[in-house]
Amino acid sequence: MRKESKPSKRSSTDMFQMLTETAEQEKKKRKEELLAPLGIKEFFTEGSITINKRTCKGVECKLCIKACPTNALFWKLGEVGLTEHLCIYCGACVLNCIVDDCIKITRKRPDGSSERFSKPRDFVALQHGIDTKRRFERVQEAFPKPEDYTRRRSSKS
């Protein structure tokens, strides 16, 4: 007679997921440690940055390196180097780059919306759109809505 084994009641854990989460937490902690002495606030927690080495004119200008507030961009052996752990995806490098589509940034806002830009014009248009939305919201808060006028008229009668 064979004994039937009962299934164990252990909860199944995904080791890969645990390792990934641990690595992400360590990466965030390391980034916070590196940015703390600079006194820079990180607005975009997720993102990516790439530099096209073929189109980069770093030898001639180095403007992106000078504009970077966290020193994530640096000069190394004849080209612009990148320390992505320090990058806060602010867009200062794209705004100062003399070559379109050389530096590409993708970032995620805290509200979940994603943004991509690689030209100064795209970055300025993105900022203008955000500022316009904020101004519109402030105007709506400051002035009464049409419904408020109709309510006031009916209450006076």
Could you tell me the CATH number of the domain that includes residue 81? Answer: 3.30.70.20
DSSP H helices, 36-111, are: 63-67, 92-96
Structural tokens at position 108: 């995620």
Is 69 inside any structural domain?
yes
**Contact (CB, 8 A) for 70 and 35:** yes
- pLDDT for residue 10: 53
Is 108 inside any structural domain?
yes
DSSP structure class, residue 24: H
Is 93 inside any structural domain?
yes
- Give the domain extent around 61: 43-118
Residue 47, phi then psi, degrees to nearest 5: 170, 180
- pLDDT for residue 86: 86
The total domain count for the chain is 1
Is 32 inside any structural domain?
no
CA 53, 59, 63, 65 dihedral sign is positive
DSSP structure class, residue 102: S
Is 72 inside any structural domain?
yes
- pLDDT for residue 15: 76
From first to last of the 157 residues of the chain, give the pLDDT tens digit: 555 555 555 556 677 777 777 877 887 788 777 777 777 777 787 899 999 999 988 778 889 999 999 989 999 888 899 988 889 999 999 999 999 999 999 999 888 889 999 999 998 888 888 888 888 888 888 887 777 767 666 666 5
Q: Which residues contact 68 (CB under 8 A, 6 or more apart)?
A: 92, 93
